[in-house]
Amino acid sequence: MSKPVRIFWRIFFWGFAGFILLLLMINWGWLGAMPDLEDIENPTASLASQVFAQDGTPMGKYYIEDRVNADYKDISKYVINALVATEDKRFYVHSGIDPWSLARAVAHLGGEGGASTITMQTAKNLFTDNWDTRNFLLRILQKVKESIIAVKLERNFTKEEIATLYLNTVAYGDNVYGIRNASRTFFQKEPDRLSVEEAAVLIGMLNAPSLYNPRRNPKQALDRRNLVLNRMVSSNYLSAEEANKLKTKPIELNYKKLDENNGLGPYFRMVLGEYMKTWCKEHKKNNGDSYNLYRDGLKIYTTINPRMQLYAEEAVARHMSYMQKLLNTQENIKKGSVWKGYENVLESAMKQSDRWRNFKKDGMGDDEIRKTFFVKTPMHIFAWNNSRGKDTVMTPYDSLKYNRQMLQAGFMVMEPVSGEVRAWVGGIDFKTFKFDHANPNTRRQVGSTMKPLLYSLAIEEAGFTPNTTVYDEQQSFGQYGLVPATSKSCKGGAIPMANALAFSRNCASAYIMKQLDNEGNNGARRFVDFLKKCDLKTKIEPYPSIALGACEISLYEMMQAYSMFPGRGFNVKPMYITRIEDRNGNVLATFIPQRKEVISDVTAYSIIKMMEGTMTIGTGRGIWQYDVPNMEVAGKTGTTNENSDAWFMGYTPQLMAGAWVGCDDRFIHFDKDNLNGQGSRAAMPIWAYFYSKAVKDPNCGLDPKQTFVKPDVMSNDLIIDYINGNTPVLGGEGEDMGTGQSKDYEVPKNIKPEDIAPESQIKLDDNNNKSKTPVKPINPPPSANKPGQDPKAVMPKKNQ
């Protein structure tokens, strides 16, 4: 053998041996991490965690990559056919590597198409962190790695499974991953319902998700779709006649992406997300790692009723848009004098704004930045309309005032026995105002809504009854001062305790506090101990003024405290999750009601009957003008000094709800002599608008004929002896509010409540996948569950 020949064979064998060694080194992970056999057999990709409502309606997701898996049986055959025809026409005959495509790619240097098969692309998506590089040598290494993993995938999975893996991991643009998310996002359909042309649109996007995104580039997307249809013809998946007919059709999108701003109950999902982050840290997977809310594909099933949620959002929008117009007519708001003495609030708001921070990063000085806040600028601001916004021109400084002068609201709905939360509205617009006013950590003064809790203690432990005589007189608590602070609201004389609650008599409430223990501040201490028994976590100082609600408590906690009345003495913690599952449907956690007996059912029933009086003859009697059906309703209005906070807590035998209204800056409010700022006008209508719709919707399962259950130990029903002729001005309550002037009772003729769409722009599943996202107030379609099908918690009878 000649020397040149020997050299050739040496180079050949050494090269071949080197190539084999290279493959082994790559396979063993010596040249970068490689998945082991267990990883290959159990491939995973980052999955979005999903949130579901009570009836299974998708509410939203938590994700870094918006990805939700679909099974092969749940994917339209048109999607599979379009994928194979476009991306890898020899998919069903090769073993992970296509020699013909590889030879073509080498011969034409990639000009006639790449060598990657569907299996190789799946390997890349699953196991190589989508490693892309322009370095030629690293790119070769990448392809070798993909090829090795592809061969292993072919050995462990069927072709159908590999196609499914690919479709579940590939990107479709707009940070949407996986065929199920793409189908839901672009067409509001499950992937098994996609038509031929819709499947072609989605598969056409895979080559360049941004370029062929039909939302952004409809012309390029249309051309690409038609190319996919042509390739389906070439692969005999479609006839030329069918393709030509389909190519004449435009792309008909029904685009809606669920993110933090849209979807059902955005405020609720923010609170839920914070809870789930803590839960994930405290719970471990089998490998010892903590769960990751954004990657592990958890399924979180909540208690939210989609229809009630939409009705709650509609109620808030309808009333708050109306109240904002009223507030805007107030003199100090129109002239801007409300800000006199509070310029520091605006200064702080400027320095906390994105505008300030961005200019600061650019190296601008404080004085220079401040000047930019007084230059008129085109901007998009919140407005009360269906889109929750409008374009305008104003100075950034004025926009700060504009936003902070917006009345905010918190509204919660829950079942009083199970504690299951049915609706949660934390504010007027999540996109603009992220602060949640129903959050357990958001506390405001509760005003007269504290009184039923005080009265229940008086009945439970001090021997009072609804007919016990109390005195409507200012009370002295020694060194702790006089309660109320002034005697202007005290009418004097004796009245039944039921009257005192119905008409929200402050002085009578102070009297009741003193009767708990008239020694110094002991009555207040006794009341604080009772509030702790109600599981209120807020620290409340034992001052006598808490009898009038001069303390800050969250709406969430007030819901828990009030639940003991319709709950027959059992207090229940609001519950908004029923179970948590992993990506495979394995149950990780279940949740049950946390109930606790606080008062007797006789006491609870006594308070119910007194609070019914509030709604029939007292401060809440105006509720019946809001089209609320004739049914048993118990409730309590509340207003704090200067009209800074307006409350209404109310319940029926089946459901309870609470509303708070006010501005985040407490110095912005209705004038103290303006009755529009009181609980009966500022907060109670939200409750009324909600109930007027929910009761009429049979899918909400509310029966207006149900009544509060009289305790078994009571042989006769409770008869309350109200004093006639003690009817206050409608809505009049609170300390030193006065009766107002005649103009305060008049509503400007050009200001009327209006129907505004709920903030949650989501289509409830009506099983046809054809209707568009609602943009006007809606009556949601029926759910799969009929009234009465959902399991109800049953209150156990107490020991006799």
Model confidence pLDDT, tens digit, residues 331-344: 999 999 999 999 99
The β-bridge partners of 635 are 650
Cα 757 to Cα 103: distance, rounded to the nearest angstrom = 59
> Per-residue pLDDT averaged across 683-688, rounded?
97
Mean pLDDT (the chain, rounded): 85
More confident residue, 166 or 413: 413
Q: Which of 755, 705, 708, 787 is CA-nearest to residue 307? A: 787
Cα 674 to Cα 671: distance, rounded to the nearest angstrom = 5
Tokens of 546: 């808490």
* Strand pairing class (595-597; 587-590): unpaired
The string of pLDDT tens digits covering residues 46-102 is: 788 999 999 999 999 998 878 888 999 999 999 999 999 998 888 998 877 776 665
Per DSSP, the three-state class of 288 is coil
- For residue 227, give Cα distances in angstroms to 87, 89, 232: 12, 14, 9
Is residue 142 within 8 Å of residue 128, measured between CB atoms? Answer: yes
- For residue 461, give Cα distances in angstroms to 326, 511, 526: 44, 16, 10
| 148-157, 386-395, 424-433, 568-577, range with the lowest pLDDT | 148-157
Res 782: pLDDT: 33
Domain 65-259 falls in which CATH fold? Penicillin binding protein transpeptidase fold (1.10.3810)
Cα 318 to Cα 299: distance, rounded to the nearest angstrom = 33
The string of pLDDT tens digits covering residues 450-475 is: 999 999 999 999 999 999 999 999 99
Res 282: pLDDT: 95
| 152-156, 233-237, 278-282, 391-395, range with the lowest pLDDT | 152-156
Band of residue 722 on the pLDDT scale cut at 50, 70, 90: confident
Q: Is the pLDDT of residue 618 over 50?
A: yes
Band of residue 733 on the pLDDT scale cut at 50, 70, 90: very low
Render 748-769 in DSSP notation, one character per residue: PTT--------S-------SS-
Band of residue 799 on the pLDDT scale cut at 50, 70, 90: very low
Cα 694 to Cα 627: distance, rounded to the nearest angstrom = 12
Helical H runs in 112-187?
118-127, 136-156, 159-169, 179-187
Segments making up each domain of the chain, as ranges = 1-32, 65-259
- Is the dihedral angle over the CA atoms 317, 318, 321, 323 positive or is it negative? negative
Res 207: pLDDT: 87
Q: Is the pLDDT of residue 791 over 90?
A: no
Band of residue 153 on the pLDDT scale cut at 50, 70, 90: confident
Res 717: pLDDT: 78
Instruction: Say how many C-beta atoms besides its own lie within 10 A of residue 660's C-beta.
Output: 30
Reply yes or no: is the peptide bond before residue 484 cis, omega within 30 of 0: yes
* Strand pairing class (176-177; 66-67): parallel
Tokens of 702: 């509310």
Q: Which of 477, 473, 478, 639 is CA-nearest to residue 544? A: 477
Band of residue 383 on the pLDDT scale cut at 50, 70, 90: very high
Res 620: pLDDT: 94
Res 258: pLDDT: 73
Q: Is the pLDDT of residue 16 over 70?
A: no
Residue 716: φ, ψ to 5°: -120, 155
Tokens of 441: 């950590």
> Per-residue pLDDT averaged across 501-526, rounded?
93
Tokens of 382: 């919140």
Band of residue 773 on the pLDDT scale cut at 50, 70, 90: very low
The string of pLDDT tens digits covering residues 203-224 is: 999 989 999 999 999 999 999 9
Res 53: pLDDT: 96
Q: Using CB atoms within 10 A of its CB, is residue 517 exposed (0-12), middle (13-18) or buried (19+)?
A: middle
* CA count, 13 A, side-chain hemisphere, 652: 22
Query: pTM above 0.95?
Result: no
Residue 334: φ, ψ to 5°: -60, -40
Burial 680-697 (b: 16+ CB within 10 A, else e): bbbbbbbbbbbbbbbbeb
Res 734: pLDDT: 46
> Per-residue pLDDT averaged across 478-487, rounded?
88
Band of residue 740 on the pLDDT scale cut at 50, 70, 90: very low
Res 726: pLDDT: 46
| 104-108, 153-157, 766-770, range with the lowest pLDDT | 766-770
Res 221: pLDDT: 94
Res 562: pLDDT: 98
Q: Is 387 left (phi over 0), alpha (psi -120 to 50) or beta?
A: alpha
Res 439: pLDDT: 94
The β-bridge partners of 579 are 301, 590
- For residue 750, give Cα distances in angstroms to 322, 326, 388, 547, 689: 11, 10, 21, 40, 20
Q: Is the pLDDT of residue 602 over 70?
A: yes
Res 155: pLDDT: 83
Is residue 692 within 8 Å of residue 701, measured between CB atoms? Answer: no
Res 23: pLDDT: 60
Q: Is the pLDDT of residue 289 over 80?
A: yes
Q: Which of 185, 190, 166 is CA-nearest to residue 175? A: 185
- For residue 707, give Cα distances in angstroms to 24, 602, 630: 77, 15, 11
Q: Is the pLDDT of residue 486 over 50?
A: yes
> Per-residue pLDDT averaged across 261-266, rounded?
84
Res 778: pLDDT: 31
Band of residue 777 on the pLDDT scale cut at 50, 70, 90: very low
* Residues of the chain above pLDDT 70, percent: 82
Burial 137-162 (b: 16+ CB within 10 A, else e): eeeebbbbbbbbbbbbbbeebebeeb
Cα 636 to Cα 614: distance, rounded to the nearest angstrom = 7
Q: What single letter denotes the amino acid at residue 299? A: K
> Per-residue pLDDT averaged across 6-21, rounded?
70
Q: Which of 370, 400, 291 is CA-nearest to residue 47? A: 291
* Residues of the chain above pLDDT 90, percent: 64
Burial 375-403 (b: 16+ CB within 10 A, else e): eeeeeeebbbeeebeeeeeeebbbbbbee
Res 33: pLDDT: 60
> Per-residue pLDDT averaged across 376-398, rounded?
93
